Amino acid sequence: MMRAEVRDRIRKGVEDDSPRRPRTLSKSNPALVLHVDMDAFFAAIEERDNPSLKGKPVVVGGPKGSRGVVTTANYVAREYGVHAGMSIAEVERRCPDAIHVSTKGGKYSWVSVQLMAILRRYSPVVEPYSIDEAFLDATGCSHLFGGPEAYANQIKQAIHSELNLTASVGIGPSRIVAKMASGLEKPDGLTYVKPEDVGRIFGPMTVRTIPGVGPSTEISLNKLNIYTIDDLAQAPMSMLQKFMGKHGRDLAETIKGKSGAEIIAMEERAEDKSMGHEHTFHVDVTDLDMLLSRLLYLSEKATRRMRKAGYVGRVVTLKLRTHDFRTYDHQRKLDEWTDDPLKVYELAHELLNDLWRPGDKPIRLIGVSVSGLVRPDEHHGVQHNLFTAATHERRTRLLHAVDQMKDQYGEKVLGMAASLESLRKGW
Amino acid sequence: MRFTVTQADLMEALGRVSPAVPTKSTLPILSNVLLQLEENRLKMVATDLEVSVVTEVDVQGEVSGSVSVPAKKIGDIVRELDGLTLTINVDESHHLLIDAGEGEYQVPGIAAQEYPSLPEIDSAATLRFTAEDLNSMIARTSFAVSRDELRPALTGVFFQIRPTEVRSVATDGHRLVRIIDQKFRAEGESRELILPVKALDMIRRNLPEKGDVELVVGGNQIMVRLEHATLYSRLIEGRYPHYESVIPQENHNKMIVNVATLIRAVKRAQIFANPINRQIVFHLSQEKVEISAEDVELGGKGREAVDAIYEGEAQTIGYNATYVLDLLKQVPTEDVQFDLGGSTQAGIVRPTQQKEGEDFLMLVMPVRLS
């Protein structure tokens, strides 16, 4: 699972159960966001647990000789140009002495749980952003610890003394600024970017360095003659609104750190647009049953996350990548909102039939996501169905029981039998 | 092929077949209409392979023959030639030439042999409806069919033919219409068929005002001879859900309200409904009945009391406003009766008085108010 592309790993698979609270911001209480980012997380854990690795290039990812990719490289390996997402074959060329360690998801997850527990002692609002990063809302609480930098230092020390790992912390007026700041002085860094310093520090960087700005947003910005963060900060809002809509305007406001609260709202929307999972097979797959089994597993995972966050969704998107790295996606609307894995799977199966038949190109990656998400409440009721109303109650109770088991004993404690096939070793 | 025809006659015939031409099609030739001239009769065919329409028009024929031409192109040009007499000629390379006196227009065609042939019906049974009954049955059911291609059976209207009655049923799972016509008589055995909604629309367009209409059923096809056109349609295969089991038997909460009053109240409330699920809420008690809606995202809300009689438990039930309005529009009487269960059960909607020999019932499923 850890082999999926790095960006997607950051974007997806994010377990988020911390509450976001509305805040009142004022001049005397400006927004303050901390971004805590562990340094070479997986590699650092491996080094910590096996001191003989210290000082050597360590690469965590697919096993040596495999088709896998690097999940994390330690700083020694990075000196050879090795970075996350690089193929193992490329690593062997660049750094033949690298020590390859295969990913141990369970171990890292456990350290992640310990990390988040530490962070929650320091702020009531902690948002895990990926397995090794989190945002903390420090608005109004950093002064309790002697100011933003002292506050961040205490967090770093706690992580170091309790986990024997290092983290880099960025502090800023918005989430994006904090995230960019944490990357400035890695490893073991601490960077505080005040609103008035944003332009000086980040101004000359390209817009692509802003987290969340991908190739297509970069192209749109470049068309408006916006290349650097400075250009973006100085661009007239009306132009951004006209040519890029709300997205462009939000981006500029974010980078100026204009309002922390707004930024959180924007992030929330971005995150809540869809929930999904994807999987890169170790071996390209030509067998329909294997694809379907994996699709069921992914549908279970995606809807599990939706139920955890209280969402129901309506649009199912299937993503396929063939062995020649062509990526296809296809989506269709369900006629009702749902958080039921079988409903999502049923439609994803139809979509797969539309896109791919046995005998077509081998499949490298398959993914499913659900969008059109709403949180049902008294204002967003969910339409009942005449023919399934009777079974719906039973299904809901069953899924609820499954969720409770998973909450208590872990995600792997139970699943649908048909999805087991895809979890066989070697796929 | 060569003939002369008035623009009005040709336009009328094109108008009858062109609704069968698919808007999007995987087979390019389906965007064409087929023209077949035999002496003084010009036959026209359009099909999407599911529904086909055939019509005929009187012309002055000179040379018999056939061709297929793009329906939109020929429709567009003929429409603009009003009042004229047209001489139409088709050359060997399947170009259709329209000579309208002052102007000459050439429409590229495709050989008639390429055009799909009409289904053959091995006549098995004939069902006879009065045009009026069929019209009213289609009008009141077809709006409720599902658009979900994952469940094809629900995308058509289900007809249950019995010797002394016909039932027509449509549902998308959220609302349901069932009409039992006890005046209907059929010879032969009982049968059940699901007709695509597109075929029903086309039948309805071409129904005569009076008289009888015959539906010939054979295999998985149906043929209907109408005044100026003959329609063929594939029947939808698959099992229709057991709809009778979802009609509640014990809905003890009764509401009677004037249809026009309720429609106006729902229309006002839905302005404030969330645009995605169109949710409105009925607040029901013996003292008063109120309808409300609130859009929490964009703000704004509405609430109003409705002059209604309600006998039952006090409760609140959420509905999709669109579904409620769709059903209310079908009610022919001044007042409408709701037989309601709880807030998660199907509600029955029906006229306060049934037409003679008919049982007309509709269901609407609530929206869950969590």
Class of domain B125-245: alpha beta
Distances (CA, A) of A114 to A127, A165, A353, A407, B332: 14, 12, 43, 16, 67
Q: Which of A133, A253, A267, A278 is catalytic?
A: A133
Cα separation, B287 vs B282, whole angstroms: 13
Cα separation, A13 vs A54, whole angstroms: 30
Q: Is B167 on the interface with A (CB under 8 A)?
A: no
Tell me what pLDDT residue B176 has.
Answer: 97
Within chain B, all domains assigned CATH 3.10.150.10 are found at 2-114, 125-245, 248-364
Q: Is B241 on the interface with A (CB under 8 A)?
A: yes
**Region for B158 from its dihedrals, namely left if φ exceeds 0, alpha if ψ lies in -120 to 50, beta otherwise:** beta
Asked if A380 and B146 come within 8 Å (Cβ–Cβ), the reply is no
Torsion of CA B3, B7, B9, B10, to 10 degrees: 60
Of A378, A379, A386, which is closest to B171 when you measure between CB atoms?
A386
* Consecutive H or E run containing A167: strand A167-172
CATH topology of domain B2-114: DNA Polymerase III; Chain A, domain 2 (3.10.150)
Nearest to B166 by CA among B350, B332, B358: B358
Chain B residue with CA closest to A372: the answer is B276
The β-bridge partners of B180 are B167, B359
- pLDDT of A422 over the 70 cut: yes
The CA distance from A422 to the nearest CA of chain B, in Å, is: 26
CATH placement of domain B248-364? 3.10.150.10
What three-state secondary structure class fits A83? coil
Q: What amino acid is encoded at A328 in this protein?
A: Y
Segment A370-409, tens digit of pLDDT? 998 888 877 778 888 999 888 888 898 999 999 998 888 8
Residue A237: Cβ-neighbour burial (10 angstroms; 0-12, 13-18, 19+): exposed
> Strands of A99-102's sheet, edge to edge?
A70-73, A58-61, A99-102
Selected from 3.40.250.10, 3.30.365.10, 3.40.1170.60, 1.10.3720.10, the CATH number assigned to the domain covering A1-18+29-167 reads 3.40.1170.60
The β-bridge partners of B262 are none
Q: Is B296 on the interface with A (CB under 8 A)?
A: yes
Cα separation, A320 vs A327, whole angstroms: 6
Tell me what pLDDT residue A258 has.
Answer: 57
pLDDT by residue, tens only, chain B of 370 residues: 999 999 999 999 999 999 999 988 778 899 999 999 999 999 999 999 999 999 999 999 999 999 999 999 999 999 999 999 999 999 999 999 999 988 999 999 999 999 999 888 887 788 999 999 999 999 999 999 998 888 899 999 999 999 999 999 999 999 999 999 999 988 888 899 999 999 999 999 889 988 999 999 988 999 999 988 999 999 999 999 999 999 999 899 999 999 999 999 999 999 999 887 889 999 999 988 999 999 877 778 999 999 999 999 999 999 999 999 999 999 999 999 999 998 989 999 999 999 999 999 999 999 988 6
Residue B254: Cβ-neighbour burial (10 angstroms; 0-12, 13-18, 19+): middle
- With beta carbons under 8 A apart, name residues in chain A contacting B176: 386
**Three-state SS annotation for chain B:** CEEEEEHHHHHHHHHHHHHHCCCCCCCHHHHEEEEEEECCEEEEEEECCCEEEEEEEECEEEECEEEEEEHHHHHHHHHCCCCCEEEEEECCCCEEEEECCCCEEEEECECHHHCCCCCCCCCCEEEEEEHHHHHHHHHHHHHHCCCCCCCHHHHEEEEEEECCEEEEEEECCCEEEEEEECCCCCCCCCEEEEEEHHHHHHHHHCCCCCCEEEEEEECCEEEEECCCEEEEEECCCCCCCCHHHHCCCCCCEEEEEEHHHHHHHHHHHHCCCCCCCCEEEEEECCCCEEEEEECCCCCCEEEEEECEEEECCCEEEEEEHHHHHHHHCCCCCCEEEEEECCCCCCEEEEECCCCCCEEEEEEECCEECC
A390 Cβ neighbours under 8 A, 6+ residues apart: none
Tokens of B175: 């609302």
Q: What amino acid is encoded at A366 in this protein?
A: I
Residue B318: Cβ-neighbour burial (10 angstroms; 0-12, 13-18, 19+): buried
So what's the ipTM on this one?
Answer: 0.81
**Helical axes A260-272 vs A237-255, angle rounded to 10°:** 100
CATH placement of domain A274-423? 3.30.1490.100
Beta strands in A210-286 (DSSP E): 274-285
Tokens of A289: 């049953």
Confidence band of A24 (pLDDT split at 50, 70, 90): very low
Answer yes or no: are the C-beta atoms of B77 and B98 closer than 8 Å.
yes
Of A350, A382, A385, which is closest to B150 when you measure between CB atoms?
A350
Nearest to B220 by CA among B246, B256, B196, B187: B196
- pLDDT of A18 over the 70 cut: no
Q: Is B346 on the interface with A (CB under 8 A)?
A: yes
Answer yes or no: are the C-beta atoms of B151 and B174 closer than 8 Å.
no
Asked if A380 and B320 come within 8 Å (Cβ–Cβ), the reply is no
Distances (CA, A) of B127 to A220, A288, B55, B123, B287: 62, 46, 21, 11, 50
Q: Is B173 on the interface with A (CB under 8 A)?
A: yes
Tell me what pLDDT residue A16 has.
Answer: 34
* Half-sphere exposure at residue A94, Cβ-oriented, CA atoms within 13 angstroms: 19
- The full set of domain ranges for chain A reads 1-18+29-167, 194-272, 274-423
Of A335, A350, A378, which is closest to B146 when you measure between CB atoms?
A335
Question: Which CATH superfamily is A194-272 part of?
Answer: 5' to 3' exonuclease, C-terminal subdomain (1.10.150.20)
Asked if A384 and B276 come within 8 Å (Cβ–Cβ), the reply is no
DSSP state of A426: T
Segment A331-367, tens digit of pLDDT? 898 888 899 999 999 999 999 998 898 888 899 899 9
B287 Cβ neighbours under 8 A, 6+ residues apart: none
Stretch among A121-135, A173-187, A257-271, B175-189 having the lowest mean pLDDT: A257-271
> What does the pLDDT average to over A72-91?
88
**Helical axes B197-205 vs B131-141, angle rounded to 10°:** 140
What three-state secondary structure class fits A160? helix
Answer yes or no: are the C-beta atoms of B99 and B89 closer than 8 Å.
yes
* Consecutive H or E run containing A251: helix A237-255
What are residue A178's phi and psi, to 5 degrees?
-60, -45
Asked if A383 and B320 come within 8 Å (Cβ–Cβ), the reply is yes
A151 Cβ neighbours under 8 A, 6+ residues apart: A34, A122, A138, A141, A142, A144, A145
Q: Is B61 on the interface with A (CB under 8 A)?
A: no
